[in-house]
Amino acid sequence: MCTFVDSKKVLKMSKRYTITAALPYTNGPIHIGHLAGVYVPADIYARYLRLTGNDVAFICGSDEHGVPITIKAKKEGVSPQDIVDKYHAIIKKSFEDFGISLDNYSRTTAKIHHDTASEFFTTLYEKGEFIEEVTEQLYDEEANQFLADRFVIGTCPKCGNEESYGDQCEACGTSHNATDLINPKSAITGNVPTLKQTKHWFLPLDKHEAFLKEWILEGHKKDWKSNVYGQCKSWIDDGLRPRAVTRDLDWGIPVPLPDAEGKVLYVWFDAPIGYISATKEWAAREGKDWEPYWKDKDTKLVHFIGKDNIVFHCIIFPAMLKAEGSYILPDNVPANEFLNLEGNKLSTSKNWAVWLPEYLEDFPNQQDVLRYALTANAPETKDNDFTWKDFQARNNNELVAIFGNFINRVVVLTDKYYNGIVPEASNFSKIDEETLATVKAYPDVISSSIERYRFREASQELMNLARLGNKYLADEEPWKMIKQDEVRTQTIMFVALQIASALATLSEPFLPFTSDKLKRILNFEKNTWNEVSSKDILIPAGHQIGKAELLFSKIEDETVQFQVDKLLATKKANEAANKTVEPQKEEITFDDFTKLDLRVGTILEAEKMPKAKKLLVLKVDTGIDIRTIVSGIAESFTPEEVIGKKVTVLVNLAPRALRGVESQGMILMTETPEGKLVFVNPDTSTALSTGDANVNNGLHIS
């Protein structure tokens, strides 16, 4: 770890890090919630560690087993392998497109993973770490299969959510067993499941409770995030119970025992082992030994996850590693909270999300804008909300107006005054020296935030360095000084270029594409993180830089409104899809129908009912009389809109008093598929006039 002595000198010892990012589930693409919660913070941390000279293995992979994948495969009429192959490719490309600098992105259907997970299970089995029990599990008689947790839906025993899954309630985050649910139903057939005996193997978490109390509640009380520590404490305080590590399924890793036909390793058991198998795969490819990254006590293991995975990475996986005996335990698990979207919870099933492939279609080459907006608004300690307006403001007011503006001015002026050659500096003023000293302090400042997993804070410190550059130029005004003192102007521009060079290096963890572009403009490879603190000159006099290019471009209001409109269209589509249709009423006879007297009338007058939000009081000429009708249409029509309208009236409905006004009939209304209220109108081309005294005005069924 880095040891900071002062802002000018950094003593550092290289260290080995294994960084894991939660395995994304391969039943759909990646959205901004995944990026904000796990992958951007993990990438910032990994890139920073590499820049500070550490040995880093940044590991991830597709989580490809489990019931949701089999459900999706059944719906689409394809095999589970088809589903995971499709989304593994999509997810892998999204990570590459957004600069997530993984050393290896593997998958849990790979042979190396099946072998590793089977070996891990066998080791624990042979050490006697499992409990073998015959228990009663929920069974769907019609589907003729045991119901894995995600095939069961019922009422959460803790919060009362009526749509809780069998393994976890997404409303309150509580993990439980399917048999704990109240009123469980099969997600396959909708039937009430029965209980049937089956044999499974359990990891006795209660056996490890004392170790977990000491390791987490005492050992990590001060250095783990409060949301992580609090959830772990709640689980441990409630008392840990044995948890099944096998399931009755045909999609997954077969349990490597002779008497376990038709059973697979439970996905929560096999998925975290995916970190180990992915590390093995990477090490074999790179000609490295994988074991030090998982078994050397000098290695620092860090898991980046969302809050829904805290219990698995802080309690269950460590218990597995401890039971195996040869593995290190995580040094930290900096889990984030959830990111919402425009005030609503992100939902893949409702398409309430910003999908990464779609983002790049609408915002090509603007990955860093999204990375920055998500980092600056990261849900580190509480759920946060992503809005397109905030995204626009972060881009226009910070990336464009502060970072991009400073770099553009420095490069344009250097080209204009010196043909792009870094000028010589002489006679530093007090402000020059203070500015350069402040620049040297920034690596330590940003490091402090990153190493405490405060990436939002770190991103703002980076922006403060760009603010320093803008203030320096604004105060020193080289565009004016060039007319008065060319020697002084050279020094000003030399200092400004040192700030630009520092930004090129220090921005790499946060804005990797921008950092690469800025290095190309400045025409140099890079300084290391520590050199920004220790070197007096980051870009030397006489160095030729390139031409100015805009690092960021302004995002207009109409661009943002288009994204908002897309979400609103999604919301309306969801409302229409979820709209409940009233069931058909009891059957009536033709004689019942003939009792209705329907006539076409004309609305002569209309006014709002006092103190009533929904009611209009109408005067309607029915052709047989002029009568008062009270109608609940005030939220859809103004009084002015309905005057003169032809309407269909049920005239022989018994009068009814509404708020003291006697209503003498009913106006017939209906709804469009979009839910808009409309009049049931007669065919205007054949409608009879109310002024024709010799005819019955309208439809009269008798």
- Cα gap 601→651, rounded to integer Å: 10
pLDDT for residue 250: 87
Q: Give the whole-angstrom CA distance, residue 166 versus residue 148.
A: 8
* Mean of the per-residue pLDDT values of the chain: 90
The number of CA neighbours under 13 Å toward the Cβ of 106 is: 29
Over residues 474-493, mean pLDDT: 97
Per-residue tokens: 60: 């991830």
Residue 701 has pLDDT above 60, yes or no: no
By three-state DSSP, how is residue 404 classified?
helix
Handedness of CA 462, 467, 470, 472 (dihedral sign): negative
User: 371 and 511 in contact (C-beta within 8 Å)?
Assistant: yes
Q: List the single range of 68-77, 104-113, 334-343 with lowest mean pLDDT.
A: 68-77
Confidence of residue 374 (pLDDT cuts 50, 70, 90): very high
pLDDT in tens, 294-321: 999 999 999 999 999 999 999 999 999 9
- Its sign, for the CA torsion 110, 111, 112, 118, is positive
3-class SS letters over 197-227: EEEEEEECHHHHHHHHHHHHHHCCCCCCCHH
Overall average pLDDT of the 254-270 stretch: 94
Of the candidates 649, 545, 543, the residue with the CA atom closest to the CA atom of residue 602? 649
d(CA 217, CA 211): 10
Alpha-carbon distances, residue 31 vs 351, 353, 359 (angstroms): 10, 6, 9
The first and second tokens of residue 582, run together, are 């009233």
Give the HSE-up count for residue 150: Cα atoms under 13 Å, Cβ half-sphere. 14
Over residues 173-231, the pLDDT tens digits come to 777 878 889 999 988 888 999 999 999 999 999 999 999 999 999 999 999 999 999 99
3-state secondary structure 45-88: HHHHHHHCCCEEEEEEEEECCCHHHHHHHHHHCCCHHHHHHHHH
pLDDT in tens, 225-261: 999 999 999 999 999 999 999 998 889 999 999 989 9
Residue 130 has pLDDT above 70, yes or no: yes
Please tell me what DSSP assigns to residue 168: B
Task: Please tell me the predicted confidence (pLDDT) of residue 11.
Answer: 37
pLDDT in tens, 498-535: 999 999 999 999 999 999 999 999 998 878 999 999 99
pLDDT digits (tens, 9 = 90+) for 69-82: 988 898 899 999 99
**More confident position, 151 or 100:** 100
Distance CA 99, CA 512 (A): 7
The single residue listed with the structure tokens 């802080």 is 314
**SS3 category, 180:** helix
Report, as an integer, the average pLDDT of 482-496: 97
Cα(669)–Cα(633) distance, rounded to whole angstroms? 9
pLDDT for 101 equals 98
| pTM across the whole model | 0.80
Supply the pLDDT for residue 162: 86
pLDDT at 106: 98
Burial bucket for residue 594 (CB in 10 Å: 0-12, 13-18, 19+):
exposed
The per-residue DSSP string of 294-320 comes to HH-TTSEEEEE-BGGGHHIIIIIHHHH
pLDDT score at 238:
92
53 has pLDDT over 60: yes
3-state secondary structure string, 581-649?
Answer: CCCCCCCCCHHHHHCCCEEEEEEEEEEECCCCCCCEEEEEECCCCEEEEEECCCCCCCHHHHCCCEEEE
pLDDT band per the 50, 70, 90 thresholds, residue 369: very high
Instruction: Give the separation between CA 469 and CA 398, rounded to whole angstroms.
Output: 13
Per-residue pLDDT reduced to its tens digit, 646-659: 999 999 999 988 88
- Name which of 466, 495, 465 is nearest 478 in CA terms: 495
pLDDT at 397 over 70: yes
- What single DSSP character describes residue 653? S
Among 655, 654, 659, 606, CA closest to 634: 606
Reading the block at residue 467, the tokens are: 């603010």
C-alpha–C-alpha distance, residues 336 and 353, integer Å: 18
pLDDT greater at residue 323 or residue 175: 323
Locus of tokens 């130029």: 473
Q: How many residues does the chain have?
A: 702
Residue 678 pLDDT level (bands cut at 50, 70, 90): confident
- Count Cβ neighbours within 10 Å for each residue of 416-425 and write b for 16 or more, e otherwise: ebbebebbeb
CB 21 within 8 A of CB 39: yes
Q: Alpha-carbon distance 616 to 634, whole Å?
A: 6
Average pLDDT over residues 337-352: 90
Q: Show the tokens assigned to 92.
A: 């892998």
The mean per-residue pLDDT over the stretch 97-110 comes to 98
Q: What percent of the chain has pLDDT over 90?
A: 72
Residues forming beta bridges with residue 104, ordered by sequence position: 59
Q: Please say whether the beta carbons of 462 and 401 come within 8 A.
A: no
403, 551 Cβ separation under 8 angstroms: yes
- Spatial distance between the Cα atoms of 430 and 144, rounded to a whole number of angstroms: 82
Sheet of 131-140, strands arranged across = 145-146, 131-140, 194-203, 243-244
Say if CB 46 and CB 56 are below 8 A apart: yes
3-state SS assignment for residue 217 = helix
- For the chain, the first-to-last Cα distance in angstroms comes to 92
* 161-165, 266-270, 548-552: range with lowest mean pLDDT: 161-165
Q: Count of alpha carbons within 13 Å of 351, Cβ hemisphere only?
A: 12
- Cβ neighbours of residue 196 closer than 8 Å, sequence gap 6 or more: 136, 137, 138, 139, 146
Nearest Cα to 507, choosing from 494, 522, 492? Answer: 522
Return the DSSP state at 146: E
Please say whether the beta carbons of 308 and 33 come within 8 A. no
648: β partners: 600
